[in-house]
Structure 1
Amino acid sequence: MDTKQNTALLHALAELPGPLPARGVIHIAIRHTDRFTVVGNDLAQHPGLSTTAVGFAVRIQSLPQGTEVGIKALAARFPEGEKLIAAALRELETHGYLQRARTRLPNGRIVTRTVFCNQPTALLRPRAAAAPPQQAPAAPQVTAPVPASVPAPARALAQGPALAPAPKPEHHAPLASAPEAPVPEASTPQDHAHFVPLVPPPTAPKPPRPPLPQPRELTPELERISTALLSDLHHHSPEFTLSEEHVHRLVPGVAAWLERDTHPDTIRHALTTNAPEPVKYPYQFVKHRLTVLLPPPALRTTVTPFQTCDGCERAFRAPTPGHCRDCRTGHAHEDQQAAA
């Protein structure tokens, strides 16, 4: 397999025009016809970005519109870990290639909208208005006779621009309002230096927030584990420092998760992972996640316990102690013979 690849490279090098450099890289550029992404040198050779950040920028740029590009989504798609991906996204965000804005949906759920720009420096350059072209001195026109058989539009063009109908100007209203100022071109998303999430204003009152989940029974054991979990959050993430009163209010929500057979590490991970930076209101944030991310109730199945047979001491499943099936069959056969 290696020999075939080297042979193909040698043939490709032999077909390159001109003398080849004695050292350094030699490019064999094969034109793409499908499934390719154009990447600018301002990104590929950016002096302030790490190679990991440039690689993830290219990967994000190659994904279709609407693809999830969060830390967990990228970690599930590519081999890098979440910490390395988070650091790369922060670099891209610092240099303007990436912006993550938190948006509230009509149903009250908060989602992260990610916007990627392949050339952020172009957004900062003001677009100059196009200057009117200078008119050159009129040259003498020579009108050649046009046969009558030529169609009327072609005959009008052949006789010179003076005879051609002038195009109708468009958008008269802006020109009439300010005739002395140059008319700017139509605004495009690239004209803005910053991305502004377009969130429509609310047209109806927001529905009340759902209450904090409550357990069926707040036992002392559930209360103890919930209090310890909430009080220990700041050791895993300093931004989740809760007061004693807030811990007391949030205990029923954590107890409802524990009552549904959720491991404490899973609860801690759900409360602190992928949180905004910084968390301004930790109590409200933890309460929101305990409410909207509540797992479904665990499905409980009834398992018949094992019993030891009183006759042969064999293990068998039955709700109450007694004899196994073979012993019951043997006893029934003996009873039949005794009755006969």
Structure 2
Amino acid sequence: MAAPQVSAPAHGLRHVRARHTKNFTILRNQLLQRPGSAVTIGVAAYLLSLPEGTPVSVERLARHFAEGTIRIRRALNELEAEGYLVRCRERAGDGTVRTRYVVHHRPGTASDTHVVPAPRPRTRPRPLSAPAANLPAPSPAPGPQAEPAPEPEPTSDQAAAVLLGLRARDPRLCLSERETRELGPAVDDWLRRGVTPSQIARTLTAGLPQPLTHRPVRLLAYRLREYLPPRATAHPADDPSPALPPPLRTCAGCHNVAFRSHTETHCRTCRPEAPLPTAPAG
């Protein structure tokens, strides 16, 4: 080894240089002087100093350095983003897939980074016998036929009008023809439950998020599904209107007593007594 050369500037850093003849690695100043994490520079220098064929993994690097796996992964991601490192998947002969680390001493240089497929075993085709070769192929056994998919429920004109009118309340609710057919059956269900079109429109357009980053069809479908009102219960009687009480009358006899009746015109005091039934003559 030659005698060290000492450069002594007036101020600042001093170098005590020495000439190396073995066990050294040449590193670019672009890598060593990069701003950012010192862990990234240290991991890069360590990888560039390793010989070909050295097993490398995040766990092995974490055992070598004092930093944990999180900082090691972050450093590898930075080196990969800057072109110093390429990680590729390589398939071994036994079928296992492993990660191969390719280190670039100068970013941007080409490398053979690809996935190597496993060799397929060679199989010798089985010869067909003479009788079997002349036989026709057996027909497949008839299996259960798949049921045809149910046709979508048609959309009524009133439901389509409700959905097409939403754009007047909010221009962002401009639905396509396919989206209108998709939401139409749910709107018809609301209409069958007695909800008016204006009530449906207010439910679908009230309190929309700002802004709408996606198509509104999923939001409208969610509101139609989750805010569905219950069905109206029918009155037990045939006539849904309640029975009216008998009319109020004034006694036609004394003109002083008021009572309710559908047929009687006299109060109980003024009503004539009904005659007793007589026995038949015998």
Structure number with higher relative contact order (C-alpha < 8 Å, ≥ 6 residues apart):
1
Higher gyration radius (CA): 2
Given the two structures, how large is their TM-score scaled by the length of structure 2? 0.39
Given the two structures, how large is their TM-score scaled by the length of structure 1? 0.32
Higher helix share: 1
